[in-house]
Homo-oligomer: A and B are copies of this chain.
Amino acid sequence: MTNSAIPSGVDSLQNDRYLRMLRGQSVDRTPLWVMRQAGRYLPEYRATRAVAGDFMSLCRNAELACEVTLQPLARYDLDAAILFSDILTIPDAMGLGLSFNAGEGPVFSKPLQSEADIDNLPILDPTAELQYVMNAVSTIRKALNGRVPLIGFSGSPWTLATYMVEGGSSKQFAKVKKLAYQSPVAMQKLMDNLSENVFVYLKAQVEAGAQALMIFDTWGGVLTPAQYQKISLDAMEKIVSRLKRDSVTANIPVTLFSKGVGEKQLVQLADLGNEAIGVDWTHALSDVRAATGDKVVLQGNLDPCVLYAQPEAIRQSVKAVLKSYGEHKATGGHIFNLGHGIHPDIPPEKVSVLVEAVKEFSSQYVC
């Protein structure tokens, strides 16, 4: 399904601060959104979720997914919306049987167990097997009505692989790393399949109305420097390269977020043709900026746990993050965010403190 009703970029945006930053254009203040801004910390989210049933039922219902996507925008002056969905929709659509056990995170009932399982993985038609995602994207895009841009996203191939092989969340990632060390050829096949699937999935999201893209490489940080480069980074490079060569997606800004990686890996991640990288809270933005040399926009990186603190401490921490990035130049730039998704027990009024602090303190830094 292509979205002929609202071709990308035709509706004029009322708030284009986020996209302007990613395009290297001037802004009046630092753009801001919050990872998992549509989520359990909001009582209205919990109410909608209760109507939908389980998490994936909420993702599959375009109207309700749209409703929760817009909820944080009704409360806070945020500069982007992000599709309400999960990073694991691709393996779920492949038939691995995704479910969410309370408190345990995602579980696949049919994890990959052999090289034959990998050989048999399909290349999905995202407008068929993942049509519910595209319906959600176009529904949200219409409902936003140009208020802020809509970010589409996917898990990275390596991150998808960890769940597909481990069968769920993991502490040691022993099974998927065993595959990487014991059967590098099979691992490469898996990465190649997932790179192709993530590309067509992201392209379909753009066709459905997504105006920016983000790839979540949640588990890039568990790899050695050599394996990160060979497995996770290489796959993301292939995806970005295809997005940038495809006329549908060439002008859509891409943010890559490898959580838990070192500064050297962030430098590599900033060099794939993408517009931005996400930075987790374990780095100083000043260090990452110096290392990446204003090549890309940095997104981040307030420790989500700062939102447990009193308002004045939150304000000071926001100031510290803005100051750590420092004054913007013609290239590079900063999009304010947390360094990880917001925790479900954060009081919603703390996010107001965060938003107001970014608005109050950031205009002196931008250009």
**A306 engages B181 (CB within 8 Å):** yes
Q: A313 is contacted by which of B181, B221, B222, B225 (Cβ under 8 Å)?
A: B181
Cβ of A222: which chain B residues have Cβ within 8 Å of it? 282
- By beta carbon, the residue of chain B nearest A301 is B224
B residues near A227, Cβ cutoff 8 Å: 303
Chain B residue, CB-CB nearest to A306: B181
Q: Is the CB of B181 within 8 A of A308?
A: yes
**A320→B281 CA distance, assembly (Å):** 31
* CA gap between A284 and B282 in the complex, in Å: 18
**A262: interface (CB < 8 Å):** yes
Asked whether A178 is an interface residue with its Cβ less than 8 Å from the other chain, the reply is: yes
A52 to B41, CA, bound (A): 45
- For window 193-224 of A, CB contacts with B under 8 Å fall at 221-224
Complex interface bits, A294-337 against B, C-beta within 8 A gives 1, otherwise 0 = 00000000010110111001000000100000000000000000
Residues of A157-209 at the interface with B, using a CB-CB cut-off of 8 Å, are 172-174, 177-178, 180-182
Main secondary structure of the interface of A (DSSP, over half): helix
Distance A260 CA – B262 CA, assembled complex (angstroms): 9
- Contact count band on A: 35 or more
Do A305 and B262 contact each other (CB < 8 Å), given the known contacts A281-B224, A282-B223, A313-B181? no
Q: Does A263 contact B (CB under 8 A)?
A: yes
Residues of B within 8 A of A306 (CB): 181
Question: Is A287 interfacial (CB-CB < 8 Å)?
Answer: yes
B308 touches A177 (CB 8 A): yes
Q: In the assembly, how many copies of this chain are there?
A: 2
Q: By the criterion CB–CB under 8 Å, are B225 and A305 in contact? A: no
Q: Which residue of B lies closest to A345 (CB)?
A: B174
Which of B260, B264, B283 contacts A225 (CB under 8 A)?
A: B283
Q: Contacts A343-B172, A345-B174; is A284 near B225 (CB within 8 Å)?
A: yes
Known: A181-B305, A221-B282, A305-B181. A263 touches B260 (CB 8 A): no
Cα-based distance from A287 to B225 in the complex (angstroms):
11
| Cβ of A353 to closest chain B Cβ, rounded Å | 13
Known: A225-B282, A281-B224, A282-B224. A287 touches B264 (CB 8 A): yes
Q: For A172, list chain B residues within 8 Å (CB).
A: 305, 343
Bound CA span A223–B306, Å:
11
Chain B's nearest CB lies how many Å from the CB of A159?
Answer: 15
User: How many Å lie between the Cα of A284 and that of B182 in the bound state?
Assistant: 21
What are 17 A-B pairs at a CB distance below 8 A? Answer: A172-B305, A172-B343, A173-B305, A174-B308, A174-B343, A177-B303, A177-B305, A177-B308, A180-B305, A181-B305, A181-B313, A182-B308, A182-B309, A225-B283, A225-B287, A261-B282, A262-B262
